[in-house]
A = this chain, B = another copy of it.
Amino acid sequence: MNNLIQRYSEIRKILISYNYIMNLINWDSATQAPADCFELRSTRYEVLYQQYYNQLSSKEYYDLLVELNNHLDQLDNTLAHEVEVRKKELDKTLKVPASQLADYMTLLSKSENVWAKAKNENNFSLFQPVLTQIINYNFDYMKYQQTPTLQGYDILLKEYEPHFTSKEYDAFFGLLKKELPPLIKQITSIPCPFRTDFMSRPCSVEKQKEISLYFQKVLCFDLNKGLSMESEHPFSTSFGTSDSRYTNHFHVHNFTDSIFSCLHEIGHCLYELQNDPSLDNTFCSGGASMAMHESQSRFYENMIGRSEAFWNTHFGNIQAICPEVLGDVSAHEFYLAINQVKNSFIRTAADELTYPLHIMIRYDLEKAIFNKEIEIKDLPTAWNHSIKEYLGIDVKNDQEGVLQDVHWAGGSFGYFPTYALGSAYAAQIDYVMRKNLDVDYILSQPTVKEINAWLKQYIHQFGASDYPEIILEKALDEPFDPSYYVSYLKDKYTKIYSL
């Protein structure tokens, strides 16, 4: 058994090294690589992906996984979980013909550029042919993976959150659909009762960077183990517990955007930085699932970053950095303004309350696509119809409609719902944390280190060493229950809007 484990570890090291360099190429691409090197770089990426795939699909690796999987009882818990998950994943990968997978990777390496062009030119029909190819691949993928008990869109959903299929998501979104729209309607039908005039005041990029540095310290983001750069869309990436990175963007007339992006992305980074270091160089490092990862970013962005206790502590320091922007604003006014509820077009700019509706719209459309209830050419119309239905506003063009997100261009179907689910996890985590910790007292301190410590103890340290629902339920001391999310939102916004 020791020899098997040893050999398995060696191959795992190779696979992880390939993951590392593919992520590093992506990081480089998004943050700095010059525009003209796109083609050369994607050629090299494809070659390396092929090397990775050859190793992944080698008979030796498969046989090792089978052998270890047959003796899970002889492995420690973490390795047993890893082997079980890897075996299932590999079985899925091997069901796709190698040449079809290679063609798909080539398609994806170019599709983001096509999408970007279509978005820039505000023309869905430019993107439609590529999107059709991507969706067709996903139909094939579903066929390869289907079993008597698992079919259709559920296959894609489970890729991102293994214990959630459309049955669970329907229940989840059903609750939100029932509870949130009446509150949103109540709020948005009256004029905003607090001032928001300062939110679009110009704030220089330099000052915004200074503010981000300030919050890096507040969140205890250790620059010996991480770094930040700029990119068009903020994102984070991690290479183990000693190297976690995020990006931000800075818009002069929307300075709070960079603040919340910073808090959000650092939330992702902290999750991985606080993994137990023994998980480095294993497949159990990182986050337990996409929704779990998003729960951490949303927790830091919203439960902490949009709370009044947090701004009571930090507003004065931010005001001191940019008095020309915030000189005539109070902490309370700022707190209200950053929580303004608005029916808006862009998901990433949406407030906490309308955000899950944006996700729900995407979920419904994806379900319709894979249930063959809609044609791809009709996606823009269907999108605009849903936005009108749930948010009451008219989409004027595809740039602010169906073309706004990159996800589909990357082949990510079934991913969006985890964003809303993560927010719901975060609300329940917030509830439990407040039972155990005096969160408002901690937020009165210069840093949130005790909150980091709590999350490390109950969530972060475990990385992906178990199934997300198990890690989550242990942390929550009860199963996931979306009613906490609804209560959290209702309580918060009823107070903010004095309803």
Q: Chain A: residues with CB nearer than 8 A to chain B?
A: 13-14, 16-18, 20-21, 24-25, 28, 32-41, 43-44, 47-48, 51, 222-227, 229, 239-240, 242-243, 280-281
Interface pair A35/B281, CB less than 8 Å apart: no
Interface pair A239/B32, CB less than 8 Å apart: no
Q: Cβ of A222: which chain B residues have Cβ within 8 Å of it?
A: 36
Q: Cβ of A229: which chain B residues have Cβ within 8 Å of it?
A: 32
Interface pair B16/A223, CB less than 8 Å apart: no
Interface pair A242/B44, CB less than 8 Å apart: no
Excluding A24-B25, A39-B242, 13 further A-B contacts by CB distance (< 8 Å) are: A13-B47, A14-B51, A16-B44, A17-B47, A21-B24, A24-B24, A28-B28, A32-B229, A34-B223, A34-B225, A37-B225, A37-B243, A51-B51
Interface pair B44/A20, CB less than 8 Å apart: yes
Bound-state CA distance A440–B243 (Å) is: 50
Bound-state CA distance A254–B18 (Å) is: 42
Tell me if A's interface is mostly helix, strand, loop or mixed.
helix
Within 8 Å by CB of A240, from B21, B24, B28, B40, lies: B40
Interface pair B242/A40, CB less than 8 Å apart: yes
Would you give the shortest CB distance from A107 to chain B, in whole angstroms? Answer: 19
Would you give the shortest CB distance from A106 to chain B, in whole angstroms? Answer: 14
Interface pair B24/A28, CB less than 8 Å apart: yes
Q: Cβ of A242: which chain B residues have Cβ within 8 Å of it?
A: 34, 36-40
Interface pair B21/A25, CB less than 8 Å apart: yes
Interface pair B224/A35, CB less than 8 Å apart: yes
Interface pair A224/B51, CB less than 8 Å apart: no
- 7 A-B residue pairs with Cβ-Cβ distance under 8 Å, sorted by A, are A14-B51, A17-B51, A21-B44, A24-B25, A34-B223, A34-B243, A37-B243
Interface pair A243/B33, CB less than 8 Å apart: yes
Within 8 Å by CB of A34, from B20, B25, B33, B224, lies: B224
Q: Cβ of A24: which chain B residues have Cβ within 8 Å of it?
A: 21, 24-25, 28
